[in-house]
Structure 1
Amino acid sequence: MAAALLLQCGACRHQTSPTAGTVLEGTKLPLRTWFLAMLISQAKTGLSALALKRYLGVSCRTAWLVQHKLTDTISRADAQVPPQGQVLLDDAYLGGEHPDPGGRSSPTRVPILAAVSLNDQGNPVRARISALGGFTR
């Protein structure tokens, strides 16, 4: 395996890696594999770790770890960006073990709040969905 690329400051002689402080820090996988995983994972329907394993040619555990590290990194970045522009809000209920006539009062459904940011043309740009904790019916 090739040695990690290190960059050194000419003034203070501090050494660092281009991947330092990123999700790629300390990885043993080639960066090409990571970038391929990033491209493949952008499918609208999502991608299972098993499918990612087949595309990348890695083990199930490696595919699962890559998928979860990328998902965690994206969710952290999304949490730092507040909704901007025109924002539409709506509440809804998700879940339920079986379709039942319980409606909103069903104990298995989770109340959520959805926020969608729109651009100047009225197209959705970003969506955020949060479960409402401590919500009483």
Structure 2
Amino acid sequence: MNLLNFVAQYPDETSCRVKFKEYRDQQGVVCPHCGGTNHYWKKDKECYECKKCGKRQSLRANTVMHGSQLPFRYWFIAIHLLTSTKKSFSAAELQRQLGHKRYEPIWTLLHKLREIMGKRDEIYSLSGVIELDEGFFSTETPDDEKKKPLKRGRGSQKKSKVLVMAESQPVEGQTTKTGKPRQVGHIKMIVINDLKSATITSLVENNVTKESTIDSDDSTSYVKLKDIVKEHRPQVIPKEEIGKVLPWVHIAISNAKRMLLDIYHDIKPEYLQNYLNEFCYKFNRRYFGENLFDRLMIASVTYKNQFRQYNG
């Protein structure tokens, strides 16, 4: 929805609280004590009470807002901004727009939302023909590496390794509207510690269906992929041809890097995955339009978030 519609629909704290309860009731409330799914709503206490064991939980409990003291409207505004923009929204800018005194709670709010975006995408597996490659994203040098000489290339301490997979169905006899020989589906980006074959194989096995076909270069990191999918088609790819053979993986990497460079400064390696979660979540739902707000709201009431740490 656009900004005017959002303001009209959610003008105050009460309207946001009522709507959040509506979303939660639709998805069902589960008792964290006994697993019961039938609850009373205690209007005087503004909490749920399990019909089976009597355990009570607040409206925020066991959702993305678990433990948060920020107003409901802050969360609604953040979800609106994240889902209505193609790129992203920094915590510093959101803090300025909200007029909130402290940066840390706003930063944590956004990272909680990005984390549940990743959790939502984890339940889906990629299928069909899949492009696979690694990307190297610029991040801060870890504290324990700052005193060591800076390496160059793929092993640099200022680069974080990311496994990138994209559903990429060839279009026979023609090209797509963008002139590409393949039609892109869903993508996944996963931060990895190393490029060992065991690491790559395990992640592919957990995120790709067994009936899939994988196209990649001939890296030794991929030697065991043929054992876990229907077909693996490695090939020697000259550097100047990589964008033609694996077009959508490299478009995704390029667009994600551009988003990060345009909005953020000095991303810490431990938080890179959350930013990539947001990029993939929005890319995979690029045709949802105004429904994207509702989809993220549903995810927000479905997942309890454990992200509570702030380190800058």
Equivalence for 1:8: 49
Q: Is the 8 A contact 2:82 2:88 kept in 1?
A: yes
* Identity over aligned pairs, percent: 23
1:47 is paired with a residue whose SS is: coil
Equivalence for 1:88: 130
Q: CA deviation at 1:113?
A: 3.5
Q: Is the 8 A contact 1:41 1:47 kept in 2?
A: yes
Q: Is the 8 A contact 1:91 1:111 kept in 2?
A: no
Q: Distance in 1 between matches of 2:160 and 2:68?
A: 38
Q: What is the 5 A alignment of 1:116-135?
A: 116-117=166-167, 124-131=184-191, 133-135=194-196
Q: Distance in 2 between matches of 1:112 and 1:15?
A: 42
Q: CA deviation at 1:34?
A: 0.6
Q: Is the 8 A contact 1:89 1:113 kept in 2?
A: no
* Larger strand percent: 1
Q: Distance in 1 between matches of 2:68 and 2:91?
A: 18
Ranges in structure 1 where 5+ consecutive residues have no aligned partner = 97-104
For 2:60, which of 19, 26, 29 is the aligned residue? 19
C-alpha distance 39-124 of structure 1, shift in aligned 2 (>3 A): farther
Q: Is the 8 A contact 1:53 1:60 kept in 2?
A: yes
Instruction: Report the TM-score when normalising by structure 2.
Output: 0.34
1:114 aligns to 2:156 (yes or no): no
Q: CA deviation at 1:11?
A: 5.1
Ranges in structure 2 where 5+ consecutive residues have no aligned partner = 1-43, 139-151, 170-181, 197-219, 222-312
Q: CA deviation at 1:40?
A: 0.8
Equivalence for 1:39: 80
2:76 is paired with a residue whose SS is: helix
Aligned length: 126
For 1:48, which of 90, 103, 106 is the aligned residue? 90
Q: CA deviation at 1:115?
A: 1.7
Instruction: Report the TM-score when normalising by structure 1.
Output: 0.68
C-alpha distance 134-41 of structure 1, shift in aligned 2 (>3 A): same
Q: What is the 5 A alignment of 1:74-85?
A: 74-84=117-127
1:66 aligns to 2:109 (yes or no): yes
Q: Is the 8 A contact 2:131 2:168 kept in 1?
A: no
Q: Is the 8 A contact 1:5 1:18 kept in 2?
A: yes
Equivalence for 1:101: none
Query: RMSD of the TM alignment (CA)?
Result: 3.4
2:88 is paired with a residue whose SS is: coil
Q: Distance in 2 between matches of 1:87 and 1:35?
A: 37
Q: CA deviation at 1:4?
A: 6.1
Q: Distance in 2 between matches of 1:110 and 1:49?
A: 22
Q: Distance in 2 between matches of 1:69 and 1:61?
A: 12
* Larger helix percent: 2
With 43-52 and 108-117 compared, the bigger mean Cα shift is at 108-117
C-alpha distance 6-94 of structure 1, shift in aligned 2 (>3 A): same
Q: CA deviation at 1:75?
A: 1.7
Q: CA deviation at 1:124?
A: 4.0
Q: Deviations over 1:76-135 (max 9, x none)?
A: 222232224x34223144357xxxxxxxx934366643222469xx86443102356234
